[in-house]
Structure 1
Amino acid sequence: MEQHCKDVISCPVGKTDCPLIAEIERLKEQYEHLKKEYDRVAALSQCDPLTGIFNFQYLQVSLEREMERTRRTGFPLAVIMIDLDYFKKINDTYGHQAGNAALRWVSRLWRDSIRVNDILCRYGGEEFTLILPATSLRKAVLTAHRLRTILADAGFEFDGREIRLTASFGVEVYKATDKFDADEFIKRADKYLLEAKTKGRNCVCSQQDEGTDAGSEVLPEERAALFITRWQISG
């Protein structure tokens, strides 16, 4: 299309080396540069600069979008609130550089352990939120247990020293018939996270799943709509 437009442009005064065409080419190159810069800034605005995963702002937008999708399709939506246990001790013992390195490491560990349509965000500090589209409570709880085990079994090394990390998990699910909003959804999951911390940490808490698992799988046409772009973690 661009090549066609260029072909039909002719110099109004019939010059072979037309300054008008040269100016159009210059503006075209400038436009392409600005578009790339816009896309770069837009991507950064969705990312947490420390960990490279999605940030709190993207969490808010994504949660609203996925809740609307649940109301439209009937697929359940799960949210997992996660808090790294005793994280302040890492900063106090090894320094904030170790703490930052640990956050990057944990983000990469979990990002590589979830589905492509799942949305991992940094909620703030050492807290994370995982959005699981088209996922029942039972499967979300199993996912939380798997992530908990992966973290507990993996050893994070910093300056030649191994630092053991664990996390607490709170799981909640949203169904098409539910009436609460995104803020309440997060509060409900956070309540179970607090329960997990109260019970001694390094565990998963949720409500009893009284429903069935029917309808929790992603259909092919829905899977295509659920795919999202991941921002790669640097370092």
Structure 2
Amino acid sequence: MAQAPDPVTCPKPECPAADAQCPLIAELTQLRQLARTDGLTQLFNQRHFRDALAQEMERTQRSYNPTSLMFIDLDFFKKVNDTHGHEAGNAALVHLAQLLKDNLRMLDVAARYGGEEFVVILPGTDLFTGRFVAERLRKKIESSPVPLPTGPLVITASIGIDTYRHTDTDSAETFIARTDKLVYKAKAQGRNCVVHGVADLRTEAQISADEKAALSDAFRSDDK
């Protein structure tokens, strides 16, 4: 009787998928991160922003929780480059990116949209709260000069903010377009201001002290 052949033993893979230290997995993770990250500011890039916005708008349709979108555009950025040089302009962009990281929630999505324009997705955020956040960021930008070798550089930003609700029929592109237009209105109104979309906003008088405290606690401290 012929002897049964020895079972074939497959060699153990050098890089098993379950191995968290796998160099191949680490490399793929790094490439994936690079594909969705802006090289200068280390914020998300426009590609990732568009994917994230579509996802949040879909979530709004399912959950009825609104999604707010903010456009932030640095004022007189060309003048900064012309007067102080492009390195100073880059420093201003990096500085603004850090302010966004330090003053937003972990669930918010901040991205560089292009040039000196940034976007922030605020999931589960109505227009009243979004307007509060936008104004807080505007003040933070104005009061936080960019440190340059030649001295501190004061920068300001024009901000537009609008909200997508479950009753809205906008596509992601139309939502982006109508929010971006609000930035142009802010520029026309003198810059360094916030312009918001049309909605039935509650007035300050209707907001209780507890609600105001909750809004402040939802975002990080100004002391950062």
TM-score using structure 2 length: 0.82
Query: How far apart, in 2, do the equivalents of 1:183 and 1:163 lie?
Result: 34
Of 63, 69, 72, the match for 1:79: 69
- Inter-CA distance 149–37: structure 2 relative to 1 (3 Å threshold): same
Percent sequence identity over aligned pairs: 38
Corresponding residue number in structure 2 for 1:188:
178
Q: Deviations over 1:109-145 (max 9, x none)?
A: 1111011111001000000011000001011111110
Output the CA distance in 2 between the equivalents of 1:200 and 1:135: 27
- 1:184 and 1:78 mapped to 2: Cα distance? 14
Q: Distance in 1 between matches of 2:107 and 2:26?
A: 25
Q: Indicate the SS of the match to 2:152.
A: strand
Please give the alpha-carbon distance, in whole angstroms, between the structure 1 residues aligned to 2:14 and 2:186.
Answer: 60
Query: 1:49 matched to which residue of 2?
Result: 39
2:122–2:130 contact (8 Å) kept in structure 1 = yes
Q: Deviations over 1:69-96 (max 9, x none)?
A: 0000000110011100000111111111
Distance in structure 2 (CA, Å) of the matches to 1:95 and 1:63? 34
How far apart, in 2, do the equivalents of 1:46 and 1:89 lie? 29
Matched, 1:175 2:175: no
Length, aligned pairs only: 196
Contact 2:75 2:155 in 1 (8 A): yes
Corresponding letter in the other structure for 1:100: N
User: Are positions 1:143 and 2:151 aligned together?
Assistant: no
In the alignment, the residues of structure 2 paired with residue 57 and residue 27 of structure 1 have an alpha-carbon distance, to the nearest angstrom, of 30
Structure 2 residue corresponding to 1:35, chosen from 19, 25, 33: 25
Residue 91 (str. 1) matches residue 81 (str. 2): yes
Structure 1: which 5+ runs fail to align?
A: 1-11, 14-19, 218-235
State the distance in 2 between where 1:190 and 1:130 align. Answer: 12
Of residues 70, 94, 99 in structure 2, which corresponds to 1:109? 99
CA–CA separation in structure 1 for the residues paired with 2:13 and 2:93? 46
**Aligned-partner residue type, residue 39 of structure 1:** T
* Cα RMSD, aligned residues only: 2.2
Pairing 1:26–2:34 present:
no
Q: Deviations over 1:7-32 (max 9, x none)?
A: xxxxx59xxxxxx77x5253549x82
* Structure 2 counterpart of 1:122, one-letter code: R
> SS in structure 1 opposite 2:105?
coil
Q: Is the 8 A contact 2:75 2:191 kept in 1?
A: yes
